[in-house]
Structure 1
Amino acid sequence: MDGIAIRQKRPSATEVTCTKDYWNRKGFFALNDQAVCDSNYVFTWMSCRTPGSSHDSTELAVSDLGLLLSDRRNPLTMTLIADGLCIAADEAYADSEVLTVPWPGGGGGDMWRDGYNFYQSSARIHIEQAFGQLVWRWGILWRPLRMPFAKRPLVIKAAFLLHNFCRDNDAVPLAALVDAADDRARMDLNESNVPDAPRTRAGQAGSRLRRRMTAAVESAGRVRPPVHR
């Protein structure tokens, strides 16, 4: 989980109560958007309810998800706790039984807390990458939103949904490169079929394993998936 500030043209006094509320700390007018994604960069939840000056934890607190996670008697929250499941977030959020955040101060010199912070950050990097894909995929987000203020949250939500559509219909995952129908061809790629070439400097010839996997990719006719910008 993390937040992203979506740039927008300054709303007028007839559209919002206080236009200054939308001026965020990064120096532009914005809407505060919170989102959760999975390891495939698919957004599983998003909320766009607060102005750009709002803290991430505030946006979460007023969202439907935030209200649900704060109620430990809620069946879903109880299930998450019982199963040991949680959402990884940064220091902007409060630590809880369902929201895991880093130890402050880099772990305070404790090697184990520092280790936890490293792996927690590794899990959290997906949301940063998902935001990057979202912004660069849709040119409308490259400049401040200028449509009527009431339509801006809907436009942002549409961008998230279209991003998910692209991810769901993206290239075949690497794990599916060789399916059951290709098992026989893969099994034929043994040491007698792929001779061990002499190693050159920096291991240019590659290991037997890497050559077998490369041969399997070639046999299946798989090429590098296109990079979406």
Structure 2
Amino acid sequence: MDLCRKRARDEYEEDGEEREAEGEETEAEKEEDSLDQMKAFLVAVTGFIAAINCLGATDGTHVSVTIRAAERPRYRNRKGDITTNVLGACSPDMRFIYVLPGWEGSASDSRVLRDALSRNHRLVIPNDKYYLVDAGYANGPGFLAPYRGTRYHLKEWSGNCPQNYKELFNLRHSKARNVIERAFGVLKKRWSILRIASFFDIRTQVRIINACCVLHNFIRIEKHNDPLLEAEEFHILDLVDRELAMRPIEINEEEVRTVEATNEWTAFRDRLAMDMFVDYRRYRVQQVHQEQREVANVP
């Protein structure tokens, strides 16, 4: 080991400038890869790169906790489980941007979001930026929601094509917002302590959730440099995607009214959806013409 270290040090000293240049190139390549991931995500949302204001997606999840008997009623969620309601926001590459654990399982998503937006270490959303959210949230500043009353979940689109701008918007919105579901799935799949209630006190359990999210981000960053981490990530993602595909559709009956809908934000969504649909129809026409040309060229 010492010999290897000495050889590596000697090679570095002999060719320092070249290695520095290669290091800069590597960092540039990483930045370019990250940009490509962001572009791919935005294409999934809008069909074009113009929507540079999308920060990612946000949602809530429940993590089982151990609580003293006297406090259990407050932590019992609507399914009857003892949990903490965790708010999370993630970027297109599944890194957590913001996590707020600790709220009782009975706390509404509105209450958790209100706390996240008002506390000292709050969820910051710059002007004109937004997160993708599900239909339980109001379509208001900072939060882009799908159209209600229009099919949305990916299962509902099996074998079907969107017929209007609202359907197309919901389909692409669902595909893009799925990133937060996958992030939560990977988080819980990798750290078993988040799948079962531990014996620690609630403050420690909340810190464990935060620590697991930090480690999750670290692995997302470093996996490209470690074949074992990358292989494990692909395996976990495959399991998560299978589970998400088998999960029954859950309708979020709770309306998150922390953020109020505005006419300006509704008009913004309509413009985005209509522009997307025009681009989609143009693409479909080009696709049909291409198929016709290929058929005509067949002997």
Shorter chain as denominator, the TM-score bin is 0.5 to 0.7
How far 1:223 moved relative to its partner?
A: 11
Aligned length: 164
Distance 1:19 1:120, change over 3 A: same
Distance (whole Å) between structure 1 residues aligned to residue 118 and residue 147 of structure 2: 24
2:135 aligns with 91
* Aligned residues of 2:87 and 2:99 also touching (Cα < 8 A): yes
Distance 1:224 1:7, change over 3 A: closer
1:105 aligns with 149
Secondary structure of the corresponding residue to residue 62 of structure 2: strand
2:64 maps to 1:20: no
Counterpart residue identity of residue 146, structure 2: P
How far 1:110 moved relative to its partner?
A: 8.1
2:190 aligns with 137
Distance (whole Å) between structure 2 residues aligned to residue 90 and residue 11 of structure 1: 33
1:7 aligns with 64
1:227 pairs, out of 224, 232, 249, with 232
Distance (whole Å) between structure 2 residues aligned to residue 104 and residue 55 of structure 1: 20
Cα-to-partner distance string for 1:9-48 (whole Å, 9 max, x where unaligned): 24332xxxx4312111223100000011111110011112
Counterpart residue identity of residue 144, structure 2: T
How far 1:161 moved relative to its partner?
A: 0.8
1:58 aligns with 111
After superposition, where does 1:114-133 map in structure 2 within 5 Å? 114-133=167-186
Counterpart residue identity of residue 137, structure 2: Y
How far 1:57 moved relative to its partner?
A: 2.2
Distance (whole Å) between structure 2 residues aligned to residue 110 and residue 3 of structure 1: 31
Counterpart residue identity of residue 131, structure 1: F
What TM-score does the superposition give when structure 2 sets the normalisation length?
A: 0.50
Distance (whole Å) between structure 1 residues aligned to residue 204 and residue 228 of structure 2: 41
Counterpart residue identity of residue 106, structure 1: T
Cα-to-partner distance string for 1:181-207 (whole Å, 9 max, x where unaligned): xxxxxxxxxxxxxxxxxxxxxxxxxxx
Secondary structure of the corresponding residue to residue 223 of structure 2: coil
Distance (whole Å) between structure 1 residues aligned to residue 228 and residue 215 of structure 2: 25
* Aligned residues of 1:37 and 1:45 also touching (Cα < 8 A): yes
How far 1:152 moved relative to its partner?
A: 1.6
Residue range with higher mean Cα deviation, 41-50 or 124-133: 41-50
How far 1:126 moved relative to its partner?
A: 0.5
Counterpart residue identity of residue 93, structure 1: Y
How far 1:225 moved relative to its partner?
A: 3.9
2:43 maps to 1:38: no
RMSD (Å) for aligned C-alpha atoms? 2.7
Counterpart residue identity of residue 62, structure 1: D
Counterpart residue identity of residue 192, structure 2: G
2:253 aligns with none
Q: Which has the higher helix share?
A: 2
1:204 aligns with none
Q: Which runs of 5+ in 1 are unaligned?
A: 69-75, 174-221
Distance (whole Å) between structure 1 residues aligned to residue 163 and residue 145 of structure 2: 16
Bigger relative contact order (CA 8 A; separation at least 6): 2
Distance (whole Å) between structure 1 residues aligned to residue 106 and residue 72 of structure 2: 10
Distance 1:134 1:224, change over 3 A: closer
Distance (whole Å) between structure 2 residues aligned to residue 11 and residue 114 of structure 1: 47
Q: Which runs of 5+ in 2 are unaligned?
A: 1-57, 153-161, 237-299
